[in-house]
Amino acid sequence: MKAIRRTVAVALVVAVAAVWALPLQAGYLSNSYSSYAYSSLGHGPWYGTVPYSNSSLNGTVDYVVFGPGEFALAFPPSTTSYHPPANELVYAYQVHSTGSSNTSALNVDIIASHLYDSIGSFPLDAGGLPPVGESFVPSGPLVYAKWNYIEPGITTGNSSVGLAFASPNTPEMLVGTLGDSGLGANIALPSPSTLMVPVPEPSTAILLAASAILLGLRRRFWCR
């Protein structure tokens, strides 16, 4: 028993040191915070920026897949009305429009037989345009997570707020579509796969909890 406790303690120290040493990720979703995007379960990181382009419809989409509990760590419940289930992943996106055609919608493909829930949006430090509609739209074997805007949409040089939905399933890359004025641009974006989030063993859960607490403290320190 003493050997087990010592092993867990050593692992905890190593994990805490590793979390503190990780660089702050700035720019994803236009917000400066530390989200390691599902890496806490050893499957990440799931974050990045993807350009979209079709004639005059141009821009980028930032994406982050938050592990269980990570979204609330980055965006405390007191700062947003979007409250996804704490034990699920959060698939989050932000659209940045740079073309002369305004961007009026983001669709993210989801296989209809996979699990998904809690679509919504959330504010970011850098601002952004909130959608007028947020819904899951069935379409044969697919479901579209859809966020849409009334005219003029997301105009050149502007961005959306954070756009999100939740799922207990781990991510895979599928198709996202940006559209406006009869134009559409397809890009690769994360979407739920068939695999559910594994339940961590007790010792792993202790490490995850400690890392989460440290990330919160570290975020407060760097945001001063």
Structure tokens belonging to residue 157: 């040089």
Task: Provide the token pair at 100.
Answer: 């002369």
Longest dimension (CA), the chain: 67
Pairwise CA distance, residues 200 & 58, whole Å: 41
pLDDT in tens, 137-168: 999 999 999 999 998 999 999 999 999 999 99
Q: Is the pLDDT of residue 29 over 70?
A: yes
- 93-132 pLDDT, tens digit each: 999 999 999 999 999 999 999 999 999 999 988 789 999 9
Q: What is the C-alpha to C-alpha distance for residues 29 and 123, in angstroms, rounded to an integer?
A: 10
The rounded distance, in Å, linking the Cα atoms of 150 and 191 is 25
Distance of CA 156 to the CA centre of its chain: 23
Mean pLDDT, the chain, whole residue set: 78
User: Mapping DSSP to helix (H, G, I), strand (E, B) and coil, where does residue 117 land?
Assistant: strand
